[in-house]
Structure 1
Amino acid sequence: MTGPAAPRRILVVCLGNYCRSPLGGRILADLGGTAVEVRSAGLIDRWTQAHPEMTAAASALGYDLTGHRPQQVTPELIDWADLVLAMDHPVLEHLRDIAGPDLAARIRLYLDRDRDVPDPMGRPAAEFTACALLIEAGAANHLR
């Protein structure tokens, strides 16, 4: 008899771990429950919490980002993950460069059909809401 399967490890990455990847990570963790272990990171390390507009958009959908603390992606984080989800093509390419050929197969876009999750940074609150809805809708692609 075998024990329960280990949780699937998912890493969600955007530019700054400030808007898109914190929400993607939170949604996947909340919906995936014990079947997943989720972390999020960014290509750059600049902020100390999630963006206030994304925190508000997340809250309106029932997700809590108030405890989020951004972190920068590392080769070790990529190695930790079974699946690495990039929010857009530039992030995807950068992650493939960091990971190298051995880990590149673990990395793909968050959305299906080769689509980017648009970065709402610097845009009106409605853009954060639209982004949050897109991220929420895409989560099912990564949960078994």
Structure 2
Amino acid sequence: MRKILTVCLGNHCRSPFAQIALAHRGGTDLEVRSAGLIGKWQDQPANESMVKAARRLGHDLTGHRGQQITLETLSWADIILAMDTAVLDTLRAICTQANDPKLALYLGDRDVSDPMGQDDAAFNDCAVLIEAATALHVGRPPQ
């Protein structure tokens, strides 16, 4: 079983949605977790606008509770997907050399823009982009 960790700044919007989208697409062959660099939303539910965007795409994000990244979580993962370059740079600074080869951007060559502070349309666009990009990491179509 492959293990993927998605990481954004606060584990409040992008990485939680990526977690459920990847898990849905990967089925039982994949275990996915998410975390944030900062603990501001530790144990808090996902952003309400992202919960609504997830619902529109057929996913339930209501059970999510924010988690801050730990060295243990980084070691657990086979692949660590950062939502943007700033997150990736921070992960490179805190990761051990053993974890460095696991690091990549979620979109491969560009950032998933953070929708925080924007309207629901920005959250919807972000969710659609994240869901479409699940194909980069999991080969089969959604169930």
Please report how far the alpha carbon of residue 103 of structure 1 lies from its aligned counterpart in structure 2 after TM superposition: 1.1
In structure 2, distance between residues paired with 1:132 and 1:82: 23
Q: Does 1:94 align with 2:94?
A: no
Q: TM-score under structure 2 normalisation?
A: 0.94
In structure 2, distance between residues paired with 1:116 and 1:12: 13
Q: TM-score under structure 1 normalisation?
A: 0.93
Aligned residue among 125, 129, 138 for 2:133: 138
Please report how far the alpha carbon of residue 102 of structure 1 lies from its aligned counterpart in structure 2 after TM superposition: 2.0
Deviations 1:49-70 (A, max 9, x none): 1000000000000011000011
| Larger relative contact order (Cα-Cα within 8 Å, sequence gap ≥ 6) | 2
Please report how far the alpha carbon of residue 100 of structure 1 lies from its aligned counterpart in structure 2 after TM superposition: 2.4
Structure showing greater Rg: 1
Aligned residue among 55, 71, 78 for 2:74: 78
In structure 2, distance between residues paired with 1:102 and 1:31: 28
Deviations 1:3-58 (A, max 9, x none): xxxx1000000000000000000001111011100000000111201000000000
In structure 2, distance between residues paired with 1:30 and 1:45: 26
Give the superposed CA RMSD.
0.7
The answer for unaligned runs of 5 or more in structure 1 is: 1-6
- 4+ residue stretches of structure 1 with deviation over 4 A? none
Please report how far the alpha carbon of residue 97 of structure 1 lies from its aligned counterpart in structure 2 after TM superposition: 1.2
- State the SS of the aligned residue for 1:16: coil
1:98-117 aligned at under 5 Å gives the runs 98-112=94-108, 114-117=109-112
Matching residue's letter, 1:130: D
Aligned residue among 109, 113, 121 for 2:116: 121
Matching residue's letter, 2:94: I
Matching residue's letter, 2:81: L
> What is the count of residue pairs matched by the alignment?
137
Q: Which residue of 2 aligns with 1:68?
A: 64
Q: Does 1:59 align with 2:58?
A: no
The answer for unaligned runs of 5 or more in structure 2 is: none
Give the share of equivalent positions with the same residue, in percent. Answer: 55
Q: Which residue of 2 aligns with 1:32?
A: 26
Q: Which residue of 2 aligns with 1:8?
A: 2
In structure 1, distance between residues paired with 2:98 and 2:61: 33
